[in-house]
Structure 1
Amino acid sequence: MSTAELHTLTGAYALHALPEEERLAFERHLGACEACTQEVRELSATAARLGLAVSAVPPPGLRERVLREIATVRQEAPPHSTSERSGVAPGRAGRWSSYALAACLAAAAAFGGVAVWQNQVAQDARQEALQARQQNEQLARVLAAPDARTSSGELEGGARGTVVVSRSANRAVFLASDMARPPGGKVYQLWFNDDGSMRSAGLMDPSATDDTVLLDGPVDGASGMGITVEPAGGSEEPTTQPVALMDFPDA
Structure 2
Amino acid sequence: MTGHLHALSGAYALDALPPEELARFEEHLVGCPACQAEVAGFRTTAARLAAAAARTPPPGMKGLVLRSVARVRQSAPRSWPSRRTARRMARAAVLATAAAAMVAAGLGIQTAGQQRDEFAAAQQHLSEVNTVLGAPDAATRYDAGHTDRARVVASRLHGKAVVLAGLPPLDPARTYQVWLLGPSGARSAGVLTAETPHQWQPLLVALPPDTNRVAITAEPAPGSVQPTNPAAAMVFLG
The TM-score range, normalised by the shorter chain, is: 0.3 to 0.5
Bigger-Rg structure (1/2)? 1
Larger RCO (CA within 8 A; separation ≥ 6): 2
Structure number having the greater helix percentage? 1
Give the structure-1-normalised TM-score.
0.45
